[in-house]
Each structure stands twice: as structure tokens, then as C-alpha cells.
């Protein structure tokens, strides 16, 4: 969406973060994203100059993309999931380029972003030698904090529901 809006290829956009759950609470964060425009790398916020779109339509469209794929295809969004799996395998195998990171659902233990431990939560990670590490120290503004906490709350509730189900089985 960012590439289309800026008239560049998807390869010209990097370091977009998806925080949290794979649900309608996931949070696409471009606060640390970069885009290559006319040979120069700039921040996405600086390039777009449209906070309302980035905090509104962009976020909600990404959050609803699974449902949109199903509606458009009148079929499962399994191919979208398969593509994501292939991308993850590629990233694990080859690593992330220097200065770039990817978002990946990993166990939250030891993160520095205030997400509770024991959740499978999407974070920005770098991968080297087939091992992922959290990207540390990215500033989180109030808007992002609210979105990140909401998706963590949902995951915590889902985990509790799953444990209740398992303990009664």
C-alpha cells in the first residue's frame, strides 16, 4: 500500500513492522520504515506527509486484509499464508540484510517493548546464522503503545481461553 501510494516498488520500502496477533488487532507500524525515493532513502512519514492516512485507512486496511482476500477470491486466504511462510523460510535461511529487519511471530520472552512473556507475538527481528533476535531500542510513541497493548491483551485472552479448554479436556 505504501509503495503504491508513493509510486515505487515494494522492494523500495523496508522496515515496516507488524506488531502483535494475526488478527484484526495487528498493528502495522511505519514509524521506523524507510522508502527509497529518487535514489535517496527517507522515512515513510516524511515521504507520505499524510498522518491521517497512515494512522487510519492504512492501519484498518492491513488489519482487515485477510477478510478482504477471502471476500475478493471467494476462497480461503491460504495462498497469502503460504506466501508468508515462504518469506519467513527465506529470511531464516538467508538472514536479513544489514540495516533491515522483518516482522515475525516469535515467543515474547525477553522483549524490551513491554509485551508480556509467553505470547506468540509479531515483533521486528533481525536474522543472522538462522537465528532471530529482537530489534532493540526502537522508540514507541503513544499511538503505537495503545495498538501494541490492545493486540497483546487479545493474545493473552486467547492464551487463557486455550488453557481453560485444555484443562477441561
Active-site positions read 22
- Cα separation, 93 vs 87, whole angstroms: 10
**H or E stretch at 133:** strand 131-134
Torsion angles phi and psi, residue 47, rounded to 5: -70, -40
Backbone angles phi, psi at 60, to 5 degrees: -65, -35
Residue 83 Cα to chain centre, angstroms = 15
Amino acid at each position: 500500500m505504501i509503495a503504491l501510494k508513493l509510486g515505487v516498488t515494494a522492494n523500495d520500502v523496508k522496515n515496516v513492522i507488524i506488531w502483535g496477533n494475526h488478527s484484526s488487532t495487528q498493528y502495522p507500524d511505519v514509524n521506523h520504515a524507510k522508502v527509497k525515493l529518487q535514489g535517496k532513502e527517507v522515512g515513510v512519514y516524511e515521504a507520505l506527509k499524510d498522518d491521517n492516512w497512515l494512522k487510519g485507512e492504512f492501519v484498518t486496511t492491513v488489519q482487515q486484509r485477510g477478510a478482504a482476500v477471502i471476500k475478493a477470491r471467494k476462497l480461503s486466504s491460504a495462498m497469502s499464508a503460504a506466501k508468508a511462510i515462504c518469506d519467513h523460510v527465506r529470511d531464516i535461511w538467508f538472514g536479513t540484510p544489514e540495516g533491515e529487519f522483518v516482522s515475525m511471530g516469535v515467543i515474547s520472552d525477553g522483549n524490551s517493548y513491554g509485551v508480556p512473556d509467553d505470547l506468540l507475538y509479531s515483533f521486528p527481528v533481525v536474522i543472522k546464522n538462522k537465528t532471530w533476535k529482537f530489534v532493540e531500542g526502537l522508540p514507541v510513541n503513544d499511538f503505537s503503545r495503545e495498538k501494541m497493548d490492545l493486540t497483546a491483551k487479545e493474545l493473552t485472552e486467547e492464551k487463557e481461553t486455550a488453557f481453560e479448554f485444555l484443562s477441561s479436556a
